[in-house]
Amino acid sequence: MTSPQPEMTYENAAEMGLSADEFDRICTAIGRIPNLTELGIFSAMWSEHCSYKSSKKWLKTLPISGDCVIQGPGENAGVVDIGDGWAAVFKIESHNHPSYIEPYQGAATGVGGILRDVFTMGARPVALLNALRFGAPDHPLTRYLTGGVVAGIGGYGNCIGIPTVGGEVNFDKSYNGNILVNAMAVGLAKADRIFYSAASGAGNPVIYIGAKTGRDGIHGATMASAEFTDDAASKRPTVQVGDPFAGKLLMEASLELMASDSVIAIQDMGAAGLTSSSVEMAAKGGLGMDIDLDLVPVREDGMTSYEIMLSESQERMLAVLKPDATEEARAILEKWDLDFATIGTVTETGRLVLRKDGDIAADIPLSPLVDDAPEYDRPHVSTPARAKLDSKDVAVVDICDALRKMIGSHHLASRRWIWEQYDCDVMADTVASSGGDAALVRVHGSERGMAVTTDCTPRYVLADPRCGGMQAVAEAYRNISATGAQPLAITNNLNFGNPEKPEIMGQIVGAVTGMGDAARELDTPVVSGNVSLYNETEGTAINPAPVVGMVGRIDDIDHAVGIALTAEDLDLIVVGQTPDVKDGWLGCSVYADLFGKAVDAAPPPVDCLEERRNGSFVRDQIINGHVDAAHDISDGGLLVTVAEMTMATGGKFGAQIELPDGGNLQGWCFGEDQGRYILATRDGNALLAAAKDAGVPSHRIGKTSRDGALKFSSGDIISVKELIDISEAWLPHLMAGGHEQN
């Protein structure tokens, strides 16, 4: 077979991020030297982003099955049964590098991409979440990147009309040159109406749907698989441009198409565009595909086969239709004014054959392209264990002063400035959104609900990857449980540095192992996910962020509780702690970060059996109506948790707290020991008795009050309104140009 394109070389391969060894494998796979288009296709499919070549060995260790799982990893999104014939379809995905280069468009297309992954499966998206990491508050780019990313997330989600209901944001200097933008989408579908991507039926038409193909985002997947250098700005042309209105048309048209019974298989064109969609659809079906690139709708003249195959233009889908359904499909797409073209057919050859201008532009056997992708067992060294912090080594700060400083720090201050730019209410089924533990979304037209959250504490992961990986799962589990919902399953987004460095690979191995262990013990399998490596700038890696997105179910949303105290004279009970505790784990805590040198210590250990037992007790108490408000204890420890429960009332209710005698007061107040919750209840004695029966340590720490203050048995007192003002002031002040230094 002759090709008009020149044969490629090792140099060409290196420019596309392929090693000499990988180039040799490609030549072996196709039995000759590839041309430009073929090499482009291999480099995209074998990029870290698409092939998971560095992480696959470890991803395989994650638990992926469970009673609720309908579809685990390997499709566009994971699918779990949430009861009554409904399925939750969800996934998280990163758009880190594009968002650093062009924050608005990078973040917007991150949202657009993850929404396509969900509606491709036949599910209507009903909730968006995110996990964001920005640089130090006083870094010159932080305001610009934060403002741009938040506007981009809102710009896409608000326009397409899917509520952004939750998320988390950290600021840390390790993200100065490499921010993290992870977007999660959750959709709803009838459990028996899920669509998959495997093509079937040789001779069936392959249909291109949606926006035209342009020169934007060419080789984005490869960019996402390399370290940054200081010429990041020159990579701006590799960032895709979002069009949420086109995304909305594509979503409505796709859902209408799937409801019409004309679709055999469907796949969105995300990373690596037409390449990954055509390859995956054909390969999963064990078939081949012939595509005539002259039939692809293009935005500009003179696009080469390489550009068409590697473009990451947004808002496009590829579908295999039933042969007699093309006219019905055309009518639906015309209603939505979308481009529609039959660009090829499914074949039995097992090969991807691309034609352009009368020539064969590429002819690749699919099996080696997909199955022979490299898989590396990269060398890894464990992160050295850190010593446990001795509480005596931490500064003793007056607890009211400490609370003021912590609540007003970049760790804990209100994110309202961010979340008020997201439409959290559209679709009119949002029961709880940002500002609490998990968000709650009602299943339209029913009393059923889904609880959703994203979590990760990178400073724990940096200190002890395995423990940090477990903690991300445990915290998500607690956030879901604190609403009363049953945790079901996980999607994960593994954000790390360069895996070719053994210490970074050690972080990956540790975190994935820890995450897997916790997911197994808490019965929350991983059903989808994304890996983002090479998050480094000039050789400096980010703090590792294995983000967990978790979904839970609650059969009646009226049973759910929030974090806000609802009345005075409620008993405040700490669950997961015995009354004789007079200290707490300050290593890696917010308190230690703000008041000491102690971040270098070990993070709080996670005991999954305790998490499971305590979580199950909390859910049981909530569902049976014994709890008025609940909040899990995480960043900032016990006192911050109580303060947040009072602040959520707008200052209407306060609390009277009994402090322990002796011991380390700062440790007791601000330690970040895991597995704990604060519950507010009308009948503390009954709840404590139930806890005793369940073998769950718990004790009363105080009562709620109507005086709008936090009062301590020591005589200290602090106004809740003052804490609210401090908490609400920080981010607006930063974004207005006040360069905070915390």
Measure the CA–CA gap between 685 and 700, rounded to whole angstroms: 9
Single out the residue of 117, 268, 429, 464 in contact with another protein (rule: CB under 8 A): 429
Shortest spacing between CB 434 and another protein, in angstroms: 10
Q: Is 103 in the site for another protein (CB under 8 A)?
A: no
Which residues share a beta bridge with 584?
Answer: none
Single out the residue of 316, 356, 378, 442 in contact with another protein (rule: CB under 8 A): 442
Shortest spacing between CB 105 and another protein, in angstroms: 14
Q: Is 214 in the site for another protein (CB under 8 A)?
A: no
How far separated are the first and last CA of the chain, in Å rounded? 64
Segment contacting another protein (CB under 8 A): 132-140, 268-276, 439-447, 703-711?
A: 439-447
Binders in 132-191 for another protein, by CB under 8 A = 151, 154-155, 158-161
Helices and strands (H, E) in the chain, number of each type? 25, 28
Shortest spacing between CB 560 and another protein, in angstroms: 9
Measure the CA–CA gap between 304 and 212, rounded to whole angstroms: 15
Q: Is 244 in the site for another protein (CB under 8 A)?
A: yes
Shortest spacing between CB 169 and another protein, in angstroms: 16
Segment contacting another protein (CB under 8 A): 127-135, 237-245, 520-528, 567-575?
A: 237-245
Residue partners of 61: CB distance under 8 A and separation at least 6:
512, 513, 516
Cβ 598 vs Cβ 393: under 8 Å: yes
Q: What is the dihedral of CA 678, 679, 684, 686, to 10 degrees?
A: -120
Binders in 317-376 for another protein, by CB under 8 A = 336-337
Pick the catalytic residue from 49, 219, 410, 631: 49
Q: Strands 654-657, 698-705: parallel, antiparallel or unpaired by DSSP?
A: antiparallel
Q: Is 424 in the site for another protein (CB under 8 A)?
A: yes
Single out the residue of 422, 460, 585, 670 in contact with another protein (rule: CB under 8 A): 422
Cβ 115 vs Cβ 251: under 8 Å: yes
Measure the CA–CA gap between 236 and 104, rounded to whole angstroms: 12
Measure the CA–CA gap between 52 and 125, rounded to whole angstroms: 26
SS3 track for 410-446: CCCCCCHHHHCCCCCCCCCCEEECCCCCCEEEECCCC
Cβ 202 vs Cβ 488: under 8 Å: no
Single out the residue of 357, 359, 401, 420 in contact with another protein (rule: CB under 8 A): 420
Shortest spacing between CB 444 and another protein, in angstroms: 8
> Hey, is 77 helix, strand or coil?
coil
Binders in 647-666 for another protein, by CB under 8 A = 650
* Binding track, positions 540-569, relative to another protein; x by CB under 8 A: -----------------xx-----------
Shortest spacing between CB 536 and another protein, in angstroms: 32
Q: Is 428 in the site for another protein (CB under 8 A)?
A: yes
Burial of 313 (0-12, 13-18, 19+ CB in 10 A): buried
Shortest spacing between CB 704 and another protein, in angstroms: 19
Q: Is 733 part of the annotated catalytic residue set?
A: no
- Could you tell me the CA-to-CA distances from 105 to 121, 143, 726 in Å, in that order? 25, 16, 32
Vertex 642: Cα angle to 641 and 643 (nearest 5): 90
Segment contacting another protein (CB under 8 A): 6-14, 241-249, 611-619, 662-670?
A: 241-249
Segment contacting another protein (CB under 8 A): 54-62, 242-250, 618-626, 657-665?
A: 242-250
Q: Where are the beta strands (DSSP E) in 466-515?
A: 486-495
Nearer to another protein by Cβ, of 438 and 476: the residue is 438
Segment contacting another protein (CB under 8 A): 246-254, 266-274, 569-577, 688-696?
A: 246-254
Binders in 380-399 for another protein, by CB under 8 A = none
Nearer to another protein by Cβ, of 244 and 671: the residue is 244
Q: Is 380 part of the annotated catalytic residue set?
A: no
Long-range pairs for 410-413 at CB < 8 Å and ≥24 separation? 410/137, 410/170, 410/171, 410/730, 410/740, 410/742, 411/170, 411/590, 411/593, 411/594, 411/635, 411/636, 411/742, 412/590, 412/635, 412/636, 412/640, 412/727, 413/726, 413/727, 413/728, 413/729, 413/730, 413/731
* Binding track, positions 192-211, relative to another protein; x by CB under 8 A: --------------------
Please list the active-site residues.
Answer: 49, 95
Residues lying near another protein in the complex (CB under 8 A): 151, 154-155, 158-161, 243-246, 248-249, 252, 336-337, 419-431, 442, 444-445, 557-558, 650
